[in-house]
Amino acid sequence: MPMGKRYAVFGTPISHSQSPRIHAAFARQTGIELDYVSIEAGHDDFAAKLAASGAQGANVTLPLKEDAFALCRETSERARRAGAVNTLIRDGDGWRGDNTDGLGLVRDLTERHGLDLRERRVLLLGAGGAARGVAPALLDAGISALFVVNRTPERADALADAMGEPGRVHARGWDALPALGEFDLLVNATSATRGGALPPLPMALAGLRSAAVDLSYGEAAVAFLAWARAAGCTHAMDGLGMLVEQAAESFLLWHGVRPETDPVYAALNGQGDALVTAD
């Protein structure tokens, strides 16, 4: 495959990633030839593996989104607001960085699931790269308040400060959860559930009109979504729709065309035709 058509997703763990299937489907849909692979990388070897990949563009997942931000010579406004990058675009011998996570989440919640985020009270669990990616877009969607809760309160404080809206964004430690009351939307952006363990969450955080979304998908989202259903949430969604939507935005940045996302999401969700047909 020519060098200009190589793309990749970096992270750890990465073997579960659906991104190669998604971009293969987008490529077939749009008639664009490309090679998209997953590459395992951590903090210590990410920069070296990115340089050796020969990729013209890359997606970045846990735990490397803040590392990717630091590597860029130029970043978009939404990446700067987040302090995290999930999409890299080759720029000569360097990289430009963007963040499509937040737009992907909001599009999935509002357009696919029909949620109205305006004037909603939102709980964001976690303060790492995933949380940083979605916080600005949630605020732009018109939510009334965002509570950022993290086991390390200093990380929550840093994210809240970065948003620059002290009247709408509030940082708390995990031990404050029982006193926070009920939320309209609960977003799990922690990586804790990737090991199958869900940190204790009070049932009082959710009500009969609450919605819950885990930014992970598959097995990693099972524990949080089970809690959300037990707590009475009307909607309990994993991050598969967000993944497809943010991938479409990355594809647009690389290739200048935004593919259709509904058939790809349906196929991944077992509700449509196979993503990649045999040649």
Is 215 annotated as ligand-binding?
Answer: yes
13 preceded by a cis bond (ω within 30 of 0): yes
Single pTM value for the model? 0.93
> How many other C-beta atoms lie within 10 A of the C-beta of residue 3?
10
**Residue 208 corresponds to which amino acid?**
L
Sign, CA torsion 222/224/227/228: negative
What per-residue confidence (pLDDT) applies to 195? Answer: 63
Is 182 part of any known ligand binding site?
A: no
* pLDDT tens for each residue of 198-221: 888 999 999 989 999 999 998 889
* Cβ 122 vs Cβ 143: under 8 Å: yes
Q: Cα-flanking dihedrals φ and ψ of residue 187, to 5°?
A: -120, 120
| Backbone Cα Rg of the chain | 18
Annotated binding-site residue? 59: no
* Residue 4 counted as an annotated binding residue: no
DSSP conformational letter for 108:
I
Residues belonging to the active site:
65
270 marked as part of a ligand binding site? no
Rounded distance between C-alpha atoms, residue 204 and residue 93, angstroms: 51
Closest CA to 126 of 164, 79, 177, 85: 177
- The percent of residues above 70 in pLDDT, for the chain, comes to 94
The structural domains of the chain, ordered by start, are: 3-99+243-268 (3.40.50.10860), 102-238 (3.40.50.720)
- pLDDT (0 to 100) of residue 273: 54
Could you tell me which residues come within 8 angstroms of residue 54 by beta carbon, excluding any fewer than 6 positions away? 3, 6
The mean of the pLDDT values for the chain is: 93
